[in-house]
Structure 1
Amino acid sequence: MSSIIVNGMHCQHCTAAVTKAMQAVPEAGDVKVDLASGKAEWTGSAAVEAMTAAVEDQGYEVKKN
């Protein structure tokens, strides 16, 4: 399982937007986003760079975990 830290999420709408963006990346697999910790995880083989770009396109800041 791979993960990144997403900064700037404040509500369930934010987690839903990040989850949807990450799920749209090919080979993402199962995606789990935790609002409290900011941790976003995925089970597939999608590259960290692809997942980071998808989240940043939604306006959030990403730190590689």
Structure 2
Amino acid sequence: MDQTFTVTGMTCGHCEAAIKRALAQVDPAAQVQIDRSQQRVQVQGSQQPREALAAAIREEGYEVAA
């Protein structure tokens, strides 16, 4: 299942790494692609509920709009 989130507050590679780590803790098999310029986080292959993935991103201090 592919899921796309709009995430604000990502400004650097450290932000990307933090989000990838957080999502890997929820679903280690998921593939994560991040486009900072578009404020987009795409999670591919995850079987986790959308809200669980969004919560992991929020716990890192980022806003998830969609």
- The runs of at least 4 aligned residues of structure 1 exceeding 4 Å deviation read none
Residues 34-43 or 20-29, more deviating: 20-29
| Offset at residue 36 of structure 1 (A) | 1.2
| Offset at residue 50 of structure 1 (A) | 0.4
Q: How many Å separate the matches in 1 of 2:40 and 2:60?
A: 16
| Offset at residue 12 of structure 1 (A) | 0.8
| Offset at residue 28 of structure 1 (A) | 5.5
Task: Name the residue aligned to 2:19.
Answer: 18
Q: CA RMSD in A?
A: 1.4
Superposed, 1:25-44 pairs within 5 Å as 25-26=26-27, 29-43=30-44, 44=46
Q: How many Å separate the matches in 1 of 2:50 and 2:37?
A: 21
Counting aligned pairs with the same residue, the percent is 33
Unaligned 5+ segments in structure 1 are: none
- Using structure 2 for the length normalisation, give the TM-score: 0.84
Give deviations 1:2-57, integer Å, cap 9, x for gaps.
11111001111111111111111136511111111111111112211001100110
Superposed, 1:52-63 pairs within 5 Å as 52-63=54-65
